[in-house]
Amino acid sequence: MVKNKKIVGIVLSGGKSSRMGSEKGLVEWKGKHLIEYSIEALQPICDQLVISSNMEYYNYLGYPIIEDEIKECGPIGGIYSCMKAVKADYYLVISCDVPNVSFLLFADLLKHIADFDAIFPADKDGRRQPLIAVYRSSCKDIIEKELFQGHFKMMRLLDLLQTETFQISEELPYYNSKMLSNANSPEDIDSL
């Protein structure tokens, strides 16, 4: 774990939710809004938490809402805007639609970041999950350059950073087969 470093959690909830048909983070699952699960995954290990959103729906949660400084550029813009608004050494990023992520995963990511710019989990098929990740503050300049050059793809960003992949396996004490599953549609909610 990183000691004496400021850790800020960023919950990404600025998407259009077009497949969901309503604001994704406010969809109820097992008695809570999806975004509340994401907050619970960050809260225990973050010094501060912010929500990346262009909506006021989330004011009830009591966390600062950071609007995208550069509009219509997806998650990379939300991450950048939050990094610019709140100074930290590490940023723990999670999307608002992954209710099965444990804070223990983020604790493991922090333990294994070493000298890398970013670390994120990969599923059993090796798919990287850049929206459940830890980014160093040094990534902000690279993200800014990408944005101003019109490059908005997260996977492209990962190729520019020194990254580490944390393999999700059944041996993890907090393993859940749906841990990295997200909900983009009502059908996805049913399969969580």
- Residue 61 contacts residue 137 (beta carbons within 8 Å): no
Rounded distance, CA 116 to CA 122, Å? 16
* 97 marked as binding residue: yes
CA distance 134 to 125: 20
- Backbone dihedral region for residue 90 (phi beyond 0: left; psi -120 to 50: alpha; all else: beta): beta
CB 115 within 8 A of CB 109: no
Q: Where are the beta strands (DSSP E) in 13-160?
A: 28-29, 32-33, 48-52, 65-66, 90-95, 118-122, 132-136
The Cα 155–Cα 63 span in angstroms is 28
147 annotated as ligand-binding = no
Please tell me whether 24 is known to bind a ligand.
yes
Q: Helix or strand or coil: residue 123?
A: coil
The answer to whether the annotation marks 159 as part of a ligand binding site is: no
The answer on whether 12 is annotated among ligand-binding residues is yes
Residue 47 annotated in ligand binding: no
Summarize the annotated binding site for Mg(2+) as residue ranges: 97
Summarize the annotated binding site for GTP as residue ranges: 12-14, 24, 68, 97
